[in-house]
């Protein structure tokens, strides 16, 4: 049997804010204990095949990174006592703030620094119909 050694390659994105879709959430035993791994698909033109991974500690405090990030996909924050149906958030979109980091062995990778809700669409202002007290 002959094996060919290949290098894992992926597209390194410039530091910026990208629209992303939540495609998978897993709880994983990591180097620093239990963590939640969020797989995000970039939802920008010409970047739909790019995925990035966001990591958060398993904490359900309202201000924890995990709860804030899931709230971003929900479109509004979660408060104490609320139950979060993570499966219902799959496919939802938000904005991810990406940076570029360099590992100890010199490889560069994208790191998700934050996940923010999409801007809510503003309701259009009612058309000005003039002064209602003005006499014609």
The pair of structure tokens assigned to 88 is 């219902």
Per-residue pLDDT band at 10 (split at 50, 70, 90): confident
Residue 136's pLDDT is what?
Answer: 55
Q: Is pLDDT above 80 for 113?
A: yes
* Count of Cβ atoms closer than 10 Å to residue 23 Cβ: 12
The tens digit of pLDDT for each residue in 23-69 reads 999 999 978 789 999 999 999 999 999 999 999 999 999 999 999 99
Residue 119's pLDDT is what?
Answer: 83
Which residues are within 8 A (CB) of 10 and not within 5 positions of it... i.e. 6 or more apart? Answer: 50
How far is the CA of 134 from the CAs of 126, 128, 129, 130, 131, in angstroms? 18, 13, 11, 8, 5
The CATH number corresponding to 16-116 among 1.25.40, 2.40.50, 2.40.160, 2.20.110 equals 2.40.50
Per-residue pLDDT band at 3 (split at 50, 70, 90): confident
Mean pLDDT of the chain: 89
């Amino acid at each position: 049997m002959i094996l060919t050694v290949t290098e894992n390659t992926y597209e390194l994105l410039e530091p910026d804010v990208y629209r992303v879709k939540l495609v998978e959430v897993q709880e994983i035993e990591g180097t620093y204990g239990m963590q939640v791994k969020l797989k995000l698909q970039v939802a920008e033109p010409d970047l739909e095949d790019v995925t990035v991974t966001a990591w958060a500690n398993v904490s359900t405090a309202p201000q924890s990174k995990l709860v804030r990030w899931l709230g971003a996909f929900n479109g509004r924050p979660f408060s104490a006592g609320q139950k979060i149906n993570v499966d219902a958030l799959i496919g939802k979109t938000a904005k991810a703030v990406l940076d570029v980091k360099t590992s100890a062995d010199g490889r560069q990778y994208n790191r998700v620094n934050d996940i923010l809700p999409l801007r809510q669409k503003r309701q259009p202002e009612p058309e000005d119909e003039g002064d209602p007290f003005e006499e014609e």
